[in-house]
Structure 1
Amino acid sequence: MMLSGCATMDAGGAAGAPAISATTLQDVVRTLSSDEFEGREPGTPGEEKTVTYIAEAFAAAGLQPGNKGSWYQDVPLAEITASNHEKLRVGDMQFTQGTDWVGVTYREQDRIDLDNAELVFVGYGINAPERDWNDYAGIDMRGKVALILVNDPDYQHEGLDGPFGGRAMTYYGRWTYKFEEAARQGAAGALIVHDTFPASYGWNVVESSWTGPQAHAARGDKGASQTLMNGWVQKGVAERIVAATGGDLAALAAAAQRPGFGAMPLGINVGTGFDNSIRRFQSRNVVGLLPGAERPDEYVLYSGHWDHLGRCTPAPDGDDICNGAIDNATGIAALVALAEANRAAGPAARSQVFLAVTAEESGLLGSEYYGANPVFPLAQTVGGVNMDAIAMAGPARDVTVIGGGKSELDAVLEQALAASGRRITPDAAPEAGYYYRSDHFSLAKRGVPMFYIDGGQDLVNGGTAAGAAWDAAYREKAYHGPKDEYDPNWTWDGVTADVALYYRLGRTLADGTTWPNWYPDDEFRRIRDQSCAASAAGC
């Protein structure tokens, strides 16, 4: 399928760089967000139309199939829906699913029974050798349930100083890490204590997110390496549990914020059980490649997710298709436009990979599968740029950097911004941990330095007030709803400027010889160093 037109808009590209095609961006967004694609839900007819279209668009842009002659990487998914929850039994107390606690499993088995497992308070549940911090030191968690605090030990700091970055959440503060580490420690279960401020969302978000179908990238062991049960408890429930053991949760939490904290068995047992129904299905990532001219076995990655929510809660007018025009047809359009621009510029020194991933909306599953099963070795992947929901607010004087100050990619960004005349606006909510909530994270947590850059807030037309107004209107009226639709009245100069910036970032890495690393105290530095040490090629 050929993309219509070849008109371009000069987005202020670097000297000698090709302009970014506004026509390509428009065509791809308009097509992928049309009702014909049914909201691009994985495992539906809309997926087949989507991945076929993307592969054809990649081919028309001059890419080669990236996976051993194929455009596709198969992504096996497992969806587990829990039902018939028993009460959560803690000593003589019982707590109700949904109201007091939520629990699921990552194990692909029909029934979960957790019987009389000892409950251990493990503070923030962190094992960070580079920070000389291990909440699990000296305790064997096999057969036990970890009770874990949300966020990092220093989340209450006003600034960004502290053993875990102060107000800025690190990966260690995310629930994903806490469940993963509990599994590594051999725990039978893990319960995170929900608290609205450090979590950055209310219990209603936990309840709605954890009481329906839970999809996962399928594991070879069918989840046997995971805990038997993962879940959350209301803060008031945790306070009651600790009080029943003669303790005080606030005092335990204060102790857990200090170095040298040790896990504390609470002398009380936990039990519950529930049934599971399991649906297994296969989705696909789409992979395109521009081979490098000098070092083709070194790779720079561009990524974006193609999926959205399919059919969803209808709008008042009856529209029930969540089209996902901004989230994330824009990111896929950017992949195609960047492929065209890089093809027009001629081969870079390093190879460039264009990766459209599935099931981001289900929990970064397509990128997680790629990270665990990379088509191109991660130790030979220099770094990358992920694009998720490019704003249609218009050109901005700035860019919002999520996760800045983590890696040597900062210098590449500063160089690119200087060339484009824009400046950095720091993340306004570092405590929310947004760096850990999009597809680049699946690569970052395995050591690959990745950019996460949002559109700016200081708009050329209207300044910061206009930027905040656009963002608020999008979230209120369109985000994850049927009204995230293509608008023929959109102007594209802001998008082309953003995509031109992404071009500079990726092309600088692709034409360079350096291997940017995470800063020494970053949570991903150790992982990257180990990856590099184990590889005879690449970093």
Structure 2
Amino acid sequence: MKHLFPLCAVALLVSACNGDTKDNAQVSQANSSVLANSTTQLVTFDEQRFRQDIKVLSSDEFEGRAPTTKGEKLTLDYLTKQFTDMGLTGANQGSFLQAVPMVTYTPSEQQTITLADLPMQYRKDIVLSSRHANEQITIDKAPLVFVGYGINAPESQWNDYSGIDMTGKIAVILVNDPGFANPEGTKFNGLAMTYYGRWSYKFEEASRQGALGAIIIHDTKPASYPWSVVENSWTGPQQDLVLNTDEANNRIQVEGWMTLDAAKQLFTKSGFSLPTLMERAADEPVNVELAQTASIKFANKAEYADSYNVVATLKGTSQADEQLLFTAHWDHIGKDETKEGDQIYNGALDNASGTAGIMEIARQFAAQAKQGKGLKRSLTFVATTGEEQGLLGSRFYAANPIYPLDKTVAVFNLDSTNVYGKTKDYTIVGKGQSELENYLADAAKLQNREVKSERNPASGGFFRSDHFSFAKYGVPAVFAGGGSEPPDDATAVYKAEMEKTMKGCYHNVCDHYHESWDLSGALQDLQVYYQAAESLGNNQDWPGYLAGSEFNSLRPAK
């Protein structure tokens, strides 16, 4: 999952890319104008068709589009038909489907959990799950250890696990990274979250340290989302890629989250002040044995089934072996039958809208190709599965690419489009990563839009959606779009009202399609994406990561 991106805080975010005929050295210059000599033409997107795709994919019939469910089957059929009708071809030896082996872990709702002899109520105080195929999870009096932010970063001379043996112990970990609490510090990246702040890293590192389990302390500001998002996302069936034997054996037995209030009770019972330890953890690596234990017991079920990425290609002309990828995750959270009233997480904004976006872009390129105006490079559209469960589909594609990654020029990720009207600005998430940002900026300038970084870099948006799976392999990948500045008073009034309507709907059952959505901002962004991709698709540029990016060594800017 985006785990967990606050959709309603900002008019959200899609991405794209562009280029021109300049060489990479010129492109990397701050004042470059990559589209200045481009022959890129404006196209007209079909708002009603775009709107209809969102409406269909987020309808109750699709039951929230959870992987390996009836909703997946309906989604796959719908996407396959749409791409077929466009004239695109299935990328997987003629098939539009790429199987993604998954396992679904379902923890029991009846869990017995005590920390420091304090009973913890499932969902209210804590959520736990296990990514192991054990029918019963039983942990008896496992020692609890506070490990600060749970980070081992040799390049920053930072190791919260220094000098401690975590075997048989459960790590208690702060959310985000030290830069959030200490933005003036010299390590990490200030308020902009690094990958060390992500929940996925913290569980991975606890596993590498040999811990028995890991529990992250939820705190709304550094997490950038409320407890309700954790509760909705981390209860019920949890999906993952099928791990090899070594990976499975080395993974922590239990993982989850606890509320800040519950954590304060735990630390007080242990004789410590959590706020005091939080201050210390922001300044230096820290680990403290709490002299308390955890006892945990719940039933667990593991079920194995393939889910599928949908992969459709529009073949290029003279440089067909070089790929530009558009990604958008088709999945959402599904249906929770334990809820009273509305049980379906329709996921209209997240991410029926992004999936509809890549389809509309594909239709425009396909129409141009039918008129003999196809791109030199190939375009491939990847509707991924399992993003909400940890970028599963994109992780699988990046590790098992249908087209070689060294022939993949760039990845443009669409994850929730702008339903709040047009904007005067244009947001690039994680601004400062790659040369693709120059292409995006120039495309946005053609709309007289000012490029800015995201308003809440502490949310770690760059690490929270499918583009990140490709960035880890060095493929330039971007996540951008939308903005926060309405162009006029009428749009500002509409935006304020719609933000009220959508408040609290991220990863919640109220993420419905609305007929009243103003999709002009989304179409404005689709135009940027189209122009950018058309330019890059007709030149020979190979954008790279900028100096200072953690991915620079994998594919450096020239």
Alignment TM-score, normalising by the size of structure 1: 0.82
Provide the secondary structure at the position in 2 that maps to 1:224.
Answer: helix
1:156 maps onto 2:153 in alignment = no
2:409 matched residue in structure 1: 382
Q: Please, which of 272, 297, 309 is the counterpart of residue 285 of structure 1?
A: 309
Deviations 1:74-96 (A, max 9, x none): 12332222224233344x65544
User: Which deviates the most, 43-52 or 478-487?
Assistant: 478-487
In the alignment, the residues of structure 2 paired with residue 495 and residue 199 of structure 1 have an alpha-carbon distance, to the nearest angstrom, of 27
1:340 matched residue in structure 2: 363
Deviations 1:287-342 (A, max 9, x none): 012334454443321011223455568999x8876554444333222212222333
Matches within 5 A, 1:253-402: 253-259=278-284, 261-310=285-334, 323-343=346-366, 344=368, 346-402=373-429
Deviations 1:418-440 (A, max 9, x none): 23321124322222333333332
Q: Please, which of 490, 497, 512 is the counterpart of residue 484 of structure 1?
A: 512
In the alignment, the residues of structure 1 paired with residue 288 and residue 51 of structure 2 have an alpha-carbon distance, to the nearest angstrom, of 57
In the alignment, the residues of structure 2 paired with residue 389 and residue 512 of structure 1 have an alpha-carbon distance, to the nearest angstrom, of 29
Deviations 1:22-52 (A, max 9, x none): 1642453354345554544433334323212
Q: Match of 1:219, as an amino acid?
A: L
Deviation at 1:257, TM superposition (A): 2.0
Deviation at 1:105, TM superposition (A): 1.0
1:216 maps onto 2:240 in alignment = yes
Provide the secondary structure at the position in 2 that maps to 1:454.
Answer: coil
Quote the RMSD (CA, aligned, Å). 3.6
Q: Is the 8 A contact 1:76 1:217 kept in 2?
A: yes
Q: Is the 8 A contact 2:229 2:507 kept in 1?
A: no
2:13 matched residue in structure 1: none
Q: Which has the higher contact order (CA 8 A, sep 6+)?
A: 2
Q: Match of 1:437, as an amino acid?
A: R
User: Which deviates the most, 461-470 or 103-112?
Assistant: 461-470
Q: Please, which of 159, 172, 175 is the counterpart of residue 199 of structure 2?
A: 175
In the alignment, the residues of structure 2 paired with residue 321 and residue 239 of structure 1 have an alpha-carbon distance, to the nearest angstrom, of 34
Deviations 1:225-267 (A, max 9, x none): 32111122344544454455554433433332235x2544445
Q: Please, which of 30, 54, 65 is the counterpart of residue 90 of structure 2?
A: 65
1:141 maps onto 2:169 in alignment = no
Cα gap change, 1:326 to 1:233, in 2 (>3 Å): closer
In the alignment, the residues of structure 2 paired with residue 321 and residue 156 of structure 1 have an alpha-carbon distance, to the nearest angstrom, of 36
Provide the secondary structure at the position in 2 that maps to 1:165.
Answer: coil
Q: Is the 8 A contact 1:55 1:286 kept in 2?
A: yes
Q: Please, which of 48, 53, 59 is the counterpart of residue 28 of structure 1?
A: 53
Show structure 1 runs of 5+ residues with no match. 1-11
In the alignment, the residues of structure 2 paired with residue 219 and residue 40 of structure 1 have an alpha-carbon distance, to the nearest angstrom, of 23
2:105 matched residue in structure 1: 80
Deviations 1:341-363 (A, max 9, x none): 33416443433220011233444
Deviation at 1:63, TM superposition (A): 2.0
Cα gap change, 1:408 to 1:472, in 2 (>3 Å): farther
Cα gap change, 1:205 to 1:277, in 2 (>3 Å): same
Deviation at 1:511, TM superposition (A): 3.7
In the alignment, the residues of structure 2 paired with residue 369 and residue 248 of structure 1 have an alpha-carbon distance, to the nearest angstrom, of 42
In the alignment, the residues of structure 2 paired with residue 320 and residue 116 of structure 1 have an alpha-carbon distance, to the nearest angstrom, of 36
Q: Is the 8 A contact 2:88 2:313 kept in 1?
A: yes
Cα gap change, 1:348 to 1:16, in 2 (>3 Å): same
Provide the secondary structure at the position in 1 that maps to 2:250.
Answer: coil
Provide the secondary structure at the position in 2 that maps to 1:420.
Answer: coil
Deviation at 1:284, TM superposition (A): 1.4
Cα gap change, 1:502 to 1:307, in 2 (>3 Å): same
Provide the secondary structure at the position in 1 that maps to 2:446.
Answer: helix
Q: Is the 8 A contact 2:207 2:250 kept in 1?
A: yes
Matches within 5 A, 1:515-526: 515-522=542-549, 524-525=550-551
2:211 matched residue in structure 1: 187
Cα gap change, 1:415 to 1:445, in 2 (>3 Å): same
Cα gap change, 1:423 to 1:65, in 2 (>3 Å): same
Q: Is the 8 A contact 2:229 2:508 kept in 1?
A: no
Provide the secondary structure at the position in 2 that maps to 1:231.
Answer: strand
1:474 matched residue in structure 2: 502
1:499 maps onto 2:523 in alignment = no
Deviation at 1:54, TM superposition (A): 1.2
User: Which deviates the most, 281-290 or 247-256?
Assistant: 247-256
1:412 matched residue in structure 2: 439
Cα gap change, 1:245 to 1:379, in 2 (>3 Å): farther
1:444 matched residue in structure 2: 471
Q: Is the 8 A contact 1:61 1:336 kept in 2?
A: no
Q: Match of 2:352, as an amino acid?
A: A
Q: Please, which of 434, 452, 456 is the counterpart of residue 461 of structure 2?
A: 434
In the alignment, the residues of structure 2 paired with residue 468 and residue 162 of structure 1 have an alpha-carbon distance, to the nearest angstrom, of 38
Cα gap change, 1:150 to 1:296, in 2 (>3 Å): same
In the alignment, the residues of structure 2 paired with residue 24 and residue 453 of structure 1 have an alpha-carbon distance, to the nearest angstrom, of 23
In the alignment, the residues of structure 2 paired with residue 430 and residue 233 of structure 1 have an alpha-carbon distance, to the nearest angstrom, of 23
Deviation at 1:153, TM superposition (A): 0.6
Q: Match of 2:230, as an amino acid?
A: V
Provide the secondary structure at the position in 1 that maps to 2:95.
Answer: coil
2:146 matched residue in structure 1: 121
Q: Is the 8 A contact 1:315 1:482 kept in 2?
A: no
1:226 matched residue in structure 2: 251
Matches within 5 A, 1:447-466: 447-462=474-489, 464-466=492-494
Cα gap change, 1:516 to 1:142, in 2 (>3 Å): farther
User: Which deviates the most, 266-275 or 69-78?
Assistant: 266-275
Q: Is the 8 A contact 2:321 2:377 kept in 1?
A: yes
In the alignment, the residues of structure 1 paired with residue 277 and residue 62 of structure 2 have an alpha-carbon distance, to the nearest angstrom, of 51
In the alignment, the residues of structure 2 paired with residue 366 and residue 139 of structure 1 have an alpha-carbon distance, to the nearest angstrom, of 35
In the alignment, the residues of structure 1 paired with residue 166 and residue 237 of structure 2 have an alpha-carbon distance, to the nearest angstrom, of 28
Deviation at 1:138, TM superposition (A): 4.2
2:9 matched residue in structure 1: none
In the alignment, the residues of structure 2 paired with residue 24 and residue 128 of structure 1 have an alpha-carbon distance, to the nearest angstrom, of 48
Alignment TM-score, normalising by the size of structure 2: 0.80
Q: Work out the number of aligned pairs and report it.
A: 515
1:5 matched residue in structure 2: none
In the alignment, the residues of structure 2 paired with residue 508 and residue 217 of structure 1 have an alpha-carbon distance, to the nearest angstrom, of 36
In the alignment, the residues of structure 1 paired with residue 333 and residue 156 of structure 2 have an alpha-carbon distance, to the nearest angstrom, of 39
